[in-house]
Structure 1
Amino acid sequence: MEIKLHANATTTPRVRRYIQESPKSDRELAQELGISVSTVRRWRNRTDAVDRTTTPKSIHKVLRQEQSAVINWLRQTFIVPLDELVTVVACGMQQPVSRAGLDRYLRRAEIAHMNVLGARVMRGKKAIRSGVFPGNLRIFYRRISLLPQDGGEFHVLWAEEAVSGWLAARAYAGASAQLVAHWLDDVIAAAPGDIQSVETENKKLFGMGAVKDHPLQTWCAEKGVTLTVSADDATDITLHLECRLAELIPAIGELSLDAYLQQVCEQYNRQWPQKKLGDLTPVQFWQQYR
């Protein structure tokens, strides 16, 4: 008969029953069996002779299902390493979570290892060593439907510098190609270095490269910036949120979605050093290698 014992067990069920039935003292049994006195006392106080399960009796889930979905999205979209993701969740969202707990969430979603996230532009010092420097801006768009108490529908624009990871984001009540051009003026003014190229994947809002009079085309021509547009219909999908925003992101408090996005981008860019950037913040890294 196969007996399953704990990896560190020093006794078998037969020895444990012998301990429970023996009239000898704890010290005598310990010397006879070559085990500690505390082990003898433990099994004498038990009525059975089998190992108990090591699974916790009560498992507390720190994150809501919606929060897990947001964290998975951050991981896949921005390729955030685990240590930096812990900072984003703990400081940016003000949602307490351990590194081990967050790792379990990522493993459950099968995105724990960076190599399963697909080929991406190299970041940080790896990019610098290969001759790629900061200056390539990638811009994205997502329509978000919140509950009426949180303002209803918003149109979120965000930009990410490919090498440093520098971020800029805003939430608007509406979206148009002309608004994107005005928003990019603010992004350029806030960026810690020059922008050489812009990449985007939303063909309806940002326009195709062949459209010469499109506002984004005109803006890039005026700024001397190279524009690359790739078609991706998935970016037009609306994200529906079925819970209050404050429940999803405790850090938001009384802030609007737009104010929160600007605040967390400022923290990410200037206050949170990253290993892949040589323990520099995105702003410091971009300034150093621009």
Structure 2
Amino acid sequence: MEGSIMGQVRHGCATTTHAIRAKIQRSQATTAALSRELGINVKTVAKWRKRETLEDRKTGPTEPSSTVLTTSEEAMVVAFRRYTLLPLDDCLYALQPSIPHLTRSSLHRCLQRNGISRLPDMEGNKPKRQKFKRYPIGYFHIDIAELRTNEGKLYLFVAIDRTSKYAVAQLVDKANRKTAWEFLEAVLEVVPYKIHTILTDNGIQFCEQPRNRNTAYSRSMRFDMICEANGIEHRLTKPNHPWTNGQVERMNRTIKEATVKRYHYDSHEQLRTHLSDFLDAYDYARRLKTLSGLTPYEFICKIWTSEPNRFILNPIHQMPGLNT
């Protein structure tokens, strides 16, 4: 009577099989008589007489809810995810300051309950990403981007460390050799550790043009002279291979999405102020998945404790610097 039928999946505490339940629903006998005949509780007989199916109902609450988050906290999580469309870990790092007891699993369950656990695929089938070769801190990618305000055009120099993700940026009126080496000097002044490698593209701001290299027209550039004086290797990307400098290209896009693509600026000064605030928040407050949930500044401080010989000054005493 209590044996299970092949192919039938019953609840762990079930006292009836599908065959017994079907017999109860077909029988014209009284509930008490069926209870005595089948050797089961009267309430069990009454329950299956009322039902129209033979399957067990799902256990748990009818309306799923969190045992960790309050209703208002869950509403905050849902609104944040729908507005930002950030990945799971980025949502976690951004929300934990406001909801300290939020864990990765409780966040994932919350997103599942509300049907937003998967982000929409905005770019179709994405190619498999290749990981960058691991380098010690001090390998910087540098690039230039063009931005606009109501006053006209500006150029943005951006430098980002391949390992620590620490970013430095500067807005200038012209993108030429002079502003390029001035930006390099500014980066050297603000970064608290030794820079050993700099990667740039083949732009005229950073290197001699290919047709003039190793010829009578070739000349030493101030950018390379500064690198040599500081023991820095200046590497160039391969021509027509912009993805080699992909880290700083991605940082350029991140900055544009947070500034000129989202807001209108009446003046260059408004953009400079917002850019400074954004980069301070990025370097000192934004938790990154690639750094195991640390901010770039926290990651630098962690390296300081294990490899202090790489540092020029104690980063724990460093205040936000250039980014204007």
Task: Give the secondary-structure state (helix, strand or coil) at the position aligned to 2:234.
Answer: strand
**Among candidates 111, 120, 123, match of residue 132 of structure 2:** 120
Alignment-derived partner of residue 159 in structure 2 = 159
AA paired with 1:135?
G
1:133 aligns with 2:132: no
More helix by share: 1
Q: 1:243 to 1:160 in 2, by over 3 A?
A: closer
Asked whether the 8 Å contact 1:135–1:161 carries over to 2, the reply is yes
Q: How does 1:1-290 map to 2 (within 5 A)?
A: 24=31, 28=35, 32=39, 41=47, 47-49=52-54, 63-64=81-82, 67-68=84-85, 83=89, 85-86=90-91, 88-90=93-95, 100=108, 101=111, 104-105=118-119, 116-122=128-134, 133-143=136-146, 156-163=156-163, 165-170=164-169, 172=171, 176-177=175-176, 178-201=178-201, 203=203, 206-207=206-207, 210=213, 212-214=219-221, 216-231=223-238, 232-233=241-242, 244=262, 256-268=274-286, 274-275=291-292, 281-288=298-305, 289=307, 290=310
Task: Give the secondary-structure state (helix, strand or coil) at the position aligned to 2:169.
Answer: strand
Question: 1:91-120, CA deviations, whole angstroms, 9 ceiling, x for partnerless residues?
Answer: 79x9x99653597449998999xxx53131
**Matches of 1:21 and 1:137, distance apart in 2:** 78
Q: How far off its partner does 1:258 sit?
A: 3.7
Asked whether the 8 Å contact 2:140–2:159 carries over to 1, the reply is yes
**Matches of 2:12 and 2:40, distance apart in 1:** 16
**Matches of 1:121 and 1:256, distance apart in 2:** 33
Question: 1:48-91, CA deviations, whole angstroms, 9 ceiling, x for partnerless residues?
Answer: 4567899x99xx685458x44xx57xxxxxxxxx75x4455447
Q: 1:263 to 1:61 in 2, by over 3 A?
A: closer
**Matches of 1:136 and 1:52, distance apart in 2:** 59
Gaps of 5+ in 2: 1-5, 65-77, 265-272, 311-324
Task: Give the secondary-structure state (helix, strand or coil) at the position aligned to 2:31.
Answer: coil
Asked whether the 8 Å contact 2:93–2:293 carries over to 1, the reply is no
**Matches of 2:170 and 2:10, distance apart in 1:** 54
Number of equivalences: 239
**Matches of 1:202 and 1:7, distance apart in 2:** 68
Alignment-derived partner of residue 78 in structure 1 = none
Gaps of 5+ in 1: 73-81, 123-131, 247-254
Q: How much identity, in percent, do the aligned residues show? A: 15
TM-score by length of 1: 0.52
Asked whether the 8 Å contact 1:143–1:156 carries over to 2, the reply is yes
Asked whether the 8 Å contact 2:167–2:283 carries over to 1, the reply is yes
Asked whether the 8 Å contact 2:145–2:156 carries over to 1, the reply is yes
**Matches of 2:10 and 2:154, distance apart in 1:** 54
Asked whether the 8 Å contact 2:24–2:45 carries over to 1, the reply is no
Task: Give the secondary-structure state (helix, strand or coil) at the position aligned to 1:224.
Answer: coil
- Between 1 and 2, higher relative CO (CA 8 Å, sep ≥ 6) is seen in 1
Over alpha carbons, which structure has the higher Rg?
A: 2
Q: How far off its partner does 1:263 sit?
A: 2.4
**Matches of 2:293 and 2:185, distance apart in 1:** 29
**Matches of 1:197 and 1:182, distance apart in 2:** 17
**Matches of 1:8 and 1:154, distance apart in 2:** 68
**Matches of 1:49 and 1:152, distance apart in 2:** 73
**Matches of 2:227 and 2:147, distance apart in 1:** 27
TM-score by length of 2: 0.48
- Which has the higher mean CA deviation after the structures are superposed, 170-179 or 259-268? 170-179
Q: How far off its partner does 1:198 sit?
A: 0.7
Q: How far off its partner does 1:183 sit?
A: 2.8
